[in-house]
Structure 1
């Protein structure tokens, strides 16, 4: 087996393992079910490429084995995307149409493969392939795969990008690093689009020998995608799931006095002290949707959820720093006590809200206190 074929088989092996792991985790995170199936589909495609590289797909029971899943991978990623952004998958409207091209070609390939199994010789199988226009059908499938995956891939990238833009201000500070995984995933998806489009162009405009380096580079990229996408996909399912619309009213008058009082009272009672506090938690406590809660916070404070929570936490830290009884406590311990989950998020929020570092604030307060007492 060539070095290239070895890389493909490594991709098949790691894809199978990653798919099984994700499938096992899908009971607690349903979105992972579709990600696991997408990884399996990508793995099947890598296996087909490996068999083609070793010419095994033209012998015995492996002759024309229907492993081509190029038209199945992105529809499954589309379903995964819908679940990640908290949208239901309605097969008749959102999901099913994208599976139809794969279903048509797979059905044809499966019937042909089953018929070819009963042919005793390779010549008989090749004759059957000519009668069934097998090569022409497969070539037509290759021709439509590029445009199809480019269109659907672009929709997936746009959908994820829109979702990031919508939720980035509502994710708690301690999950901010997880949010960056979205951006990495978007980069990988964009690179995948470039790989797909390059293959598409090479198929149409280049000679087969000239297109080979482009195709092999794209296929090696898919090997890397098996592991990276599986890992990243699992990581960002840990983000809270919000249903947020960008066009919800944010005027104070749009909310009742009871709703505004309930929110203020919740934070006055120290809800911000919970380091795992997120928009969903606040929404459930208030008996409102996440969408309405986000708009309520924006209406009464002109801040997003993260900024609103951090303002309360920073004010609590400032009060403690000015209390002489807390002089023997470290600044970080006070910050953690007030709901911050990491030193980095605390220092960033404190600097944004006060214009100075916590140590500078503490030193300034002590100087002012000494100056006042000496009068």
Structure 2
């Protein structure tokens, strides 16, 4: 059974099967109508996290193209590098690193100093299980399988607010991701137009079914709703008034018609509506490239093109909101240095991630990636993990969301923050 306090603390307001186009329940709309529009949330800083599920091949996304050992290990997967990146060539970033041609939408952001790349990033836990590695990364505790909360849920708890709207932390996914598990208010929304929100503020309430929002509302007392109600009603009112179906992205931004493109488009809408969004999450699937990985064409090329085009469209669409937003990607691990016998790569260790924002110290590839000779590889096969993912995640959370309590955010970690963000 879900408790009244557990409902409010764990999930704020949660709607089940309420069609947005059909309107919000009458009692809720009436309550919202009595409130004056609040602008308490305008200009909130927003962290957008994108999980690339399946383990992205960081060595193909951002290639140390002058490394002859890598060329020998991947005779069927190597691309040449050319300044400016023409056709099927890597885009030469700095004389050592080449961006996959499918990521060409990232080049201007990198040149402008807004996009930073961290290479050799990963988990200190050497599991090659997708499920376990994703779980460890999302919980933020790589050696503790029993952690109940996710690191982004803990981040919500460290934001320092007395009250939160239902949209403080939103995942544009069909189900709540592991990153959002915990006692603080988070919701998963598969589609803003359908407004189907899954209640899972904490694991204990995961399987609670409610016939209607009124049923849940009736279980609470006016006293418990006194602090949260006004902000919640106002956020609902803003969402109800928005013409989501006819939304036109700013600056001619064109999103790919893909799950990731559609999710980022909706995150942009939430940001512009000022409903209190501060932590957003979505995902990109299909990165498990065991066979027929391809080079400038194929599954990998399609995935990176969708990733970069979706993020670039999102950034363009944000317009004046860019100063308040940072985007960060993550993936559970990388791929083997050597290609396999089916034209693909197997589960590896280190990969890379992308961080985009005006307060990112961009235009640089960070990390310590050694020459990929056999003796430098982890277990004789993998790019070693030289940057703990927590050093990057904590640096971004600190600089962008002003969260500095690493003992709560990453309780088992004692490292230092990566220097990927601007100081001050």
Q: TM-score, normalised by structure 2?
A: 0.22
Higher strand share: 2
Higher relative contact order (Cα pairs below 8 Å, separated by 6+ residues): 2
Higher CA-based Rg: 1
What is the TM-score of this pair, normalised by structure 1? 0.25
